[in-house]
Amino acid sequence: MRTNKILGFLALIVLSVVLVFSACKKDDDDKSSENLLEKSYFTVENGVYKNGDFPAQSGSQSAPEIESVYGNTSVLEGGSNPISIKTTSSVKELMVGVEGVKGYYSIPSSNLKSADEVYLVILLLSQEFEKDSFVILLAIQNDQNLVSARQTITVTRIEAGTGKLQISCAWDQPNDIDLHLVEPNGQEIYYGNDISNNFGFLDVDSNAGCSIDNINNENITYGDTAIVENGNYIVRVDLYSNCDLQANTNVVVTARYNGRLITPSTGTNPYSGVFTEADEDYGDEGSGREIMKFAIGTTKDSGATETRIRFDYPKKEAVTKSTKGQK
């Protein structure tokens, strides 16, 4: 009888160990299927998440080739990054991932914006980065399911506030683009009025007056001490100066409230568009292209925090009609 009790006790211990091991394995499996890219790095507009290793290059002379990749090397949490991929190869889909992180996004060519053999992919960045610097992986797959060699962009985080309400703009050329936000009370936040009475704050103002810093981002944030009024907001973006560039500029704008992309009443969010040299206007208050309107109906705090760090960029000098063209 005593022997049977001992054997039964040992069996219970073994069963407990097996159950604990199984639970741990299940937790590991759940973590392996978690989309860490979305949580800690970015999502991709029109992309589908794939839970697997980033595809390896095909060992074939018929594999497609990427001629060049261009995207911002400075990024901010909650912002975006437009990346251009040039190739003369056929493209069935484009893959985007992060070096050392499992999983990647796949975007079919039909969902990519393209012109003159250049494809544009838009990264929507997380408000909580895993690292201050990381490497973006890109590759293409052709109709024969052959995969190109990987191309990379190393990006570094720029300090910027996220907060309860965050409006961000990113572009892909070294010129001076300005972000404007009109509050429900009519006050406008832009380079000439970078803090509103509600403490909405333009905390990143890049390439001011063509003093090129290559950050190519602007950001307006409402932190914990700010007031997010109920009412209608207007977002505009202005090409202040093309800075003697010949190329067109891809621009992306995002608006988030309590960490989520806002559904605008007019326009699109995220917005993506193009500025040409003819759009240059040296604009002041009231200038720019209207991107979206949206309404805020609650002032509840999202619990988000803000790092209020001011970038002291050169101020724009007044431009007279006799020296600069006007729209």
- Segment 251-261 mean pLDDT: 97
Q: Domain range holding 67?
A: 40-157
Total Cβ atoms within 10 A of residue 276: 11
Q: What are the backbone angles phi and psi of residue 20, rounded to the nearest 5°?
A: -65, -45
Same domain as 257, residue 214: yes
| Residue 69 belongs to some domain of the structure | yes
Q: What is the CATH number of the domain that holds 50?
A: 2.60.40.10
Given 127, 157, 187, which residue is the final one in a domain?
Answer: 157
- Segment 146-162 mean pLDDT: 97
- The Cα 122–Cα 149 span in angstroms is 20
Domain total in the chain? 2
Total Cβ atoms within 10 A of residue 154: 10
* Contact between residue 164 and residue 258 where contact means Cβ atoms under 8 Å apart: yes
Same domain as 196, residue 287: yes
Reported as half-sphere exposure (CB side, CA atoms, 13 A), residue 125 has a value of 35
pLDDT at 14 > cutoff 70: no
| Residue 93 belongs to some domain of the structure | yes
Cβ-based burial of 110 (10 A; exposed 0-12, middle 13-18, buried ≥19): exposed
Same domain as 173, residue 152: no
| Residue 127 belongs to some domain of the structure | yes
Q: Tell me: the pLDDT tens digits for 301-318?
A: 333 333 334 444 444 554
Residue 41: predicted pLDDT: 97
- Segment 125-149 mean pLDDT: 96
| Residue 306 belongs to some domain of the structure | no
Same domain as 85, residue 139: yes
| Residue 317 belongs to some domain of the structure | no
Q: Tell me: the pLDDT tens digits for 257-305?
A: 999 999 999 999 999 999 999 999 999 999 999 999 999 995 443 333 3
Q: What is the mean pLDDT of the chain?
A: 86
Residue of 261, 306, 267 whose CA lies nearest to 288 = 267
Residue 326: predicted pLDDT: 39
* pTM, to two decimals: 0.82
The three-state DSSP-derived secondary structure of the chain is CHHHHHHHHHHHHHHHHHHHHHHHHHHHHHHHHCCHHHHHCEEECCCEEECCCCCCCCCCCCCCCCCEEECCCEECCCCEEEEEEECCCCCCEEEEEECCCCCEEEEEHHHCEEECCEEEEEEEECCCCCCCEEEEEEEEECCCCCECCCEEEEEEECCCCCECEEEEEEECCCCEEEEEEECCCCCEEECCECECCCCCEEEEECCHHHCCCCCCEEEEEECCCCCCCCEEEEEEEEEEECCCCCCCEEEEEEEEECCEECCCCEECCCEEEEECHHHCCCCCCCCCEEEEEEEECCCCCCCCCCCCCCCCCCCCCCCCCCCCCCC
| Residue 260 belongs to some domain of the structure | yes
Dihedral sign, CA of 232, 229, 272, 244?
positive
pLDDT band at 27 (very low <50, low <70, confident <90, very high): very low
Given 92, 127, 157, which residue is the final one in a domain?
Answer: 157
- Segment 47-51 mean pLDDT: 96
Lowest mean pLDDT among 24-28, 73-77, 200-204: 24-28
Residue 149 CB contacts under 8 Å (≥ 6 apart), including other chains: 57, 63, 65, 66, 139
| Residue 140 belongs to some domain of the structure | yes
Same domain as 224, residue 129: no
| Residue 14 belongs to some domain of the structure | no
